[in-house]
Amino acid sequence: MSALWEDVFSNTQLLEEVVPIAVDAALLHGIIMRTKESPNSSDVVNFAPFTLLPSPVPRTLFEQAKSVQEDFNLLVDRLSQNPTFLEQTLASAMKVDDFVAQLFKVYRRVLEEGLAQSVFLGINRSDYMFDYKADGTMALKQIEINTIAASFGGLSSRTPAVHQHILRTLGKSEEACKILTNNPSLGISHGIAKAWELYGSQNAVVMFLVENVQRNIFDHRYIENELWNRNIKVIRRRLTDVYERGSLDEKKRLYVDGYEVAVAYFRTGYMPQDYSEQGWEARLMMERSVAVKCPDIATQLVGTKKVQQELSRPHILEKILPDFPEAVSQIRDTFAGLYSLDIGEEGDQTVKIALANPEQYVLKPQREGGGNNIYGDEIREVLQSVKNSSERTSYILMDKIKPQPVRSCLLKANGQLQISECISELGMFGVYVRHGEKMVLNEQVGHLLRTKATEHADGGVAAGVAVLDNPYLV
């Protein structure tokens, strides 16, 4: 995995010629975001950060991630139907994490009333890194699975064309042909359309639930446009809009601004600050409805780090997927070491190993969205402060993956060009639709590669740390 494109990176004149071509190609192909200065206006946009050239990814590990995605879809769906497992697993976290507790409060209320919806849609993204072992081999290790607002399916559908164009301008036509086709936005929209169809009302709409600040709107728009191409009406609303102008009729159909909602697709709602008191009321209203929620609240809870840690215990996967032994084996192969911080002997042991060698681990709270993890000496600081408190149960500990850095050229807005030692994270998008008991769709629908300089421990594209990339299989 040595630097693929060293002939380009070491040639200053060539870089000066190709970078403007690359930036224009990104803009031409719609690799764009709104600016930090005007995050809710498209009057001025800039290119989303990306690598000048694709990064090497081991072919066998890419294929492994691809082949296991349908198994992960199945696992997420099964877990979402297992309230006993979710309650037992999250019991300790709920006591100290108000956000998880509030999500579960809504979930419990829905269970008490009885689930109204009969169609279930999952759009998730399983993220991996390539662990470089002492013997020189590499292994695929899962970082997390995102069950809500899994992003960059839209923009990553456009990046292959950009890298193909750049390679051709460099006289690397043969290499350009090796860039993988990738269109997650098509697969995601297909899943939403299937759920809409099974809902069974031609006049009903798909509602995108969006943040107050919508800098990454074009990532949404690619999926929206695919739905419009199928003659499915799309509306965009915030949680407060649903609270103020939403209602349920006697059949628990959800209406917002007079539109019947067939599918509520969440691109927000994964962080505590996404909810006001009105926001929680809106979430409860939606969960009580017959509308298809993506995700429904149970599926969002499946994406918590505590569930991820619990699944790594011996025999747990076998209990969840007793009829799929091969899937259990394939899923387990991707797990990194995961450790509980619950109160008791096991949690005490976890604290001890983390304090002794914090550089070997990552401390993870029950949060999505990137930029939340804790590394190195900060692990010691945090655990010292909470080691004798139940507050520690709001975290899990995970082995730190040690990828092999590769030189890459990162392009960011305002002309920043950075040649650095970099590491990449591979995401696989999965979509499933269940109608009652029957799984009617289960697919791996594309991938996402994000690359960042090794100086950054955490943070994604939206945070301005990682950049969009394409895998170049080696």
Question: Is the sign of the CA dihedral 183, 167, 465, 373 positive or negative?
Answer: positive
In this predicted structure, the answer to whether residue 67 has a pLDDT above a threshold of 90 is yes
How many other β-carbons are positioned within 10 Å of the β-carbon of residue 115?
Answer: 14
- 199 domain residue, yes or no: yes
pTM of the model: 0.95
Query: Which one of 400, 417, 442 terminates a domain?
Result: 400
In this predicted structure, the answer to whether residue 39 has a pLDDT above a threshold of 80 is yes
In this predicted structure, the answer to whether residue 71 has a pLDDT above a threshold of 80 is yes
Question: What pLDDT does 73 receive?
Answer: 98
Same domain, 304 and 413: yes
In this predicted structure, the answer to whether residue 363 has a pLDDT above a threshold of 70 is yes
CATH number at residue 369: 3.30.1490.50
In this predicted structure, the answer to whether residue 464 has a pLDDT above a threshold of 80 is no
Specify the range with the lowest mean pLDDT, choosing from 52-61, 135-144, 306-315, 406-415.
406-415
Question: What pLDDT does 461 receive?
Answer: 74
As a whole-number percent, the residues of the chain with pLDDT over 70 amount to 97
Same domain, 394 and 408: no
What residue numbers bound the domain in which 70 lies?
Answer: 6-336+401-473
Q: What is the pLDDT of residues 366-409, one digit of tens each?
A: 877 666 899 999 999 999 999 889 999 999 999 999 999 999 99
In this predicted structure, the answer to whether residue 277 has a pLDDT above a threshold of 70 is yes
- 154 burial type by CB count under 10 A (0-12 exposed, 13-18 middle, 19+ buried): buried
**Cis status, amide bond into 49, omega within 30 of 0:** no
Domains in the chain, number: 2
Same domain, 65 and 137: yes
Q: Which residue, 39, 25, 131, 68, is CA-closest to 470?
A: 25
Higher pLDDT, 415 or 52: 52
Strand partners, 468: 50, 450
Question: What pLDDT does 287 receive?
Answer: 98
As a whole-number percent, the residues of the chain with pLDDT over 90 amount to 93
Same domain, 138 and 177: yes
Radius of gyration of the chain (CA): 22
Residues with active-site annotation? 125, 144, 146, 151, 305, 364, 368-369, 450
Question: What pLDDT does 26 receive?
Answer: 97
Same domain, 369 and 282: no
Q: Indicate the length of the chain as a whole number.
A: 474
Same domain, 392 and 257: no
CB-based contact 114:236 (threshold 8 Å): no
The two three-digit tokens of residue 411, written as one number: 């392009």
Q: pLDDT-based confidence at 458, cuts 50/70/90? A: low
Question: What pLDDT does 2 receive?
Answer: 55
Same domain, 408 and 381: no
Query: For 281-288, what is the mean pLDDT?
Result: 98
Query: For 64-68, what is the mean pLDDT?
Result: 98
Q: pLDDT-based confidence at 192, cuts 50/70/90? A: very high
Same domain, 22 and 87: yes
Same domain, 192 and 242: yes
What is the average pLDDT score of the chain? 95
Q: What is the pLDDT of residues 224-273, one digit of tens each?
A: 999 999 999 999 999 999 999 999 999 999 999 999 999 999 999 999 99
Query: Which one of 400, 416, 451 terminates a domain?
Result: 400
**Alpha-carbon distances of 209 from 189, 268, 284, 474, rounded to whole Å:** 15, 6, 14, 39
Question: What pLDDT does 350 receive?
Answer: 96
